[in-house]
Chains A and B, each alone.
Chain A
Amino acid sequence: EEQLVESGGDLVQPGGSLRLSCAASGFAFSSYAMGWVRQAPGKGLEWVSAISPSGDKTFYADSVKGRFTISRDNSKNALYLQMNSLRAGDTSIYYCAKRGGDGWGAFEVWGQGTLVTVSS
């Protein structure tokens, strides 16, 4: 069974940093593009970042560009999101998701999410 498990969510002060992790299992992790999607409390879905299978290509939403960094370690089947200069508006559940198809497909597998709260 394909599975994604996020961790690392926490309460952090504005201006602080946090690193999210996503552990993948049940599929050939190094063959798939991956991404992060977030959802503020009571709101809709917002795409955050994406990374190619090898990690050589990365993409970011304007709202996080320059503050967040996506990376992966294919030897550990792990995806990461380094979040710096956090703001109250970054408060959300962060989902790790596997992209399907032969390249940049739809998000076909999702983790259960990890909650990031930015507050003083």
Chain B
Amino acid sequence: EVVLTQSPATLSLSPGERATLSCRASQSVRSLLAWYQQKPGQAPRLVIYDASNRATGIPARFSGSGSGTDFTLTISSLEPEDFAVYYCQQRSSWPLTFGGGTTVEIK
């Protein structure tokens, strides 16, 4: 089973600042990694798929990079609506796995 480790667990930033979230896989997942955003009381929402592709309707301030075992989600300038929990997920092998999440909170 591929274990995904996200860091940091919590990121405290102010609106307008840059957010850099990390996801590390225990073995290569090629580029088959996605990022999801979840706000309290809501279902997750796809942000990035296949490491670097923005999902439909996702603003350009969100970008993803990486391949193999190391991946990054970057939010170039945080908007108030971006404060949420972010999860990475791999689809390279069964079982599908999610990371433990990074909370981006307002400083």
Contact = CB atoms under 8 A, between A and B. Distances in A.
Interface of A: 35, 37, 44-47, 50, 59-62, 95, 100-101, 104-113
The B interface, classified by DSSP as helix, strand, loop or mixed, is loop
A107 B89 contact: yes
Contacts of A100: 46, 49
Nearest to B43: A110
Contact of B36 (A45, A101, A105): A45
B87 to A, nearest CB: 5
Contacts of B56: 108
B49 A112 contact: no
A111 B45 CA distance: 10
A110 B101 contact: no
A104 B91 contact: yes
Interface stretch (B13-21, B74-82, B92-100): B92-100
A18 to B, nearest CB: 20
A106 B50 contact: yes
B47 to A, nearest CB: 10
Interface of B: 34, 36, 38, 43-46, 49-50, 55-56, 87, 89, 91, 94-101
Nearest to A96: B43
Contact of A62 (B87, B95, B98, B99): B95
B44 A95 contact: yes
A110 to B, nearest CB: 4
A35 B49 CA distance: 16
B97 A47 contact: yes
Interface hub of A47, A101, A106, A108 (most chain B Cβ within 10 A): A106
A113 B55 CA distance: 21
B43 A50 contact: no
Contact of B89 (A45, A59, A109, A111): A45
A108 B89 contact: no
B98 A47 contact: yes
Contacts of A109: 46
B46 A108 contact: yes
